[in-house]
């Protein structure tokens, strides 16, 4: 039996996934909202973590390298509503074993978990291919977004959600001034005149 920890601060999603994965008896599932995650991982020692990138008290993309640093053998499946074109390659580079978008039916999760537990990597291949060649097209949105750091992408995503500088700063444990600096730096890197142009670079498809 494969031990799994679902890291998602939406209880309904976590419970639905738990029921789905435990139905056939191949998985044993615990739930986490993401708070005190490292301590919970130490306590439960799961073999696989299903990680949402949008957590109330943390940024999942920033958490991922820390998780892999403390638990290098833990396999991580990223389960997010964020677009694969922006995030899939970044999560792979940060140590994830798979990526799936929340727009897909939940029953897609179980086969991915089996594959990842067996040692396979499960990413949207077409998206990764586009990301890998994005640098060949200097004005393509993928290429422009590739210039941003993971932390800058996290800030940009919060801005897209309409969060204020203070709300972002509180979530990421940063100062308002630092968030303003990130915004100015992103505009410069991507050659955008204002925030709306920058946000428009983010693809809406999964």
User: What is the pLDDT, as a whole number, of residue 197?
Assistant: 82
Helix axes 165-172, 176-190, angle to 10 degrees: 110
User: What is the pLDDT, as a whole number, of residue 98?
Assistant: 94
* % of the chain residues with pLDDT over 90: 43
Residue 137 vs residues 52, 84, 145, 184: alpha-carbon distances, Å: 30, 18, 12, 23
152 near 182, Cβ under 8 Å? yes
User: What is the pLDDT, as a whole number, of residue 41?
Assistant: 95
Average pLDDT over residues 105-134: 80
Structure pTM?
0.68
φ, ψ dihedrals at 129, nearest 5°: -65, -45
Say which residue, 46 or 196, is predicted with more confidence.
46
Average pLDDT over residues 58-82: 91
**Which of 36, 33, 35 is CA-nearest to residue 10?**
33
Residue-by-residue DSSP string for 30-60: EEE-STTHHHHHHHH--SEEEE-SEETTEEH
Task: Pick the most confident of 2-11, 169-178, 197-206.
Answer: 2-11
User: What is the pLDDT, as a whole number, of residue 204?
Assistant: 63
pLDDT confidence tier of residue 205, bands split at 50, 70 and 90: low
Assigned CATH class of 2-130: alpha beta
pLDDT confidence tier of residue 138, bands split at 50, 70 and 90: very low
Q: Alpha-carbon distance 31 to 135, whole Å?
A: 39
Average pLDDT over residues 129-150: 63
Average pLDDT over residues 61-84: 92
Average pLDDT over residues 69-83: 93
pLDDT confidence tier of residue 127, bands split at 50, 70 and 90: low
- Asked whether residue 133 carries a pLDDT value surpassing 90, the answer given is no
Coil, helix or strand for 200?
coil
Helix axes 84-93, 150-160, angle to 10 degrees: 150
User: What is the pLDDT, as a whole number, of residue 142?
Assistant: 67
Average pLDDT over residues 5-34: 93
Domain spans of the chain, in order of start:
2-130, 137-199
Assigned CATH class of 137-199: mainly alpha
């Amino acid at each position: 039996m494969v031990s799994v920890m679902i890291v998602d601060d939406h209880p309904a999603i976590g419970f639905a996934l738990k029921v789905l994965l435990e139905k056939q008896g191949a998985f044993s599932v615990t739930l986490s909202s993401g708070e005190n995650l490292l301590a919970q991982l130490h306590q439960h020692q799961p073999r696989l973590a299903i990680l949402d990138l949008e957590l109330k008290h943390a940024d999942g993309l920033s958490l991922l390298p820390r998780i892999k640093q403390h638990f290098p053998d833990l396999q991580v499946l990223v389960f997010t509503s964020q677009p694969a074109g922006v995030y899939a390659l970044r999560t792979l580079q940060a140590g994830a074993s798979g990526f799936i978008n929340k727009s897909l039916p939940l029953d897609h999760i179980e086969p991915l978990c089996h594959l990842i537990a067996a040692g396979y990597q499960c990413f949207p291949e077409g998206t990764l291919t586009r990301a890998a060649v994005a640098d060949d097209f200097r004005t393509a949105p993928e290429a422009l977004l590739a210039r941003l750091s993971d932390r800058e992408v996290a800030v940009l995503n919060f801005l897209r959600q309409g969060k204020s500088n203070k709300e972002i700063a509180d979530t990421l444990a940063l100062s308002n001034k630092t968030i303003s600096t990130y915004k100015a730096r992103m505009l410069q890197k991507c050659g955008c005149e204002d925030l709306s142009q920058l946000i428009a670079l983010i693809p809406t498809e999964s």
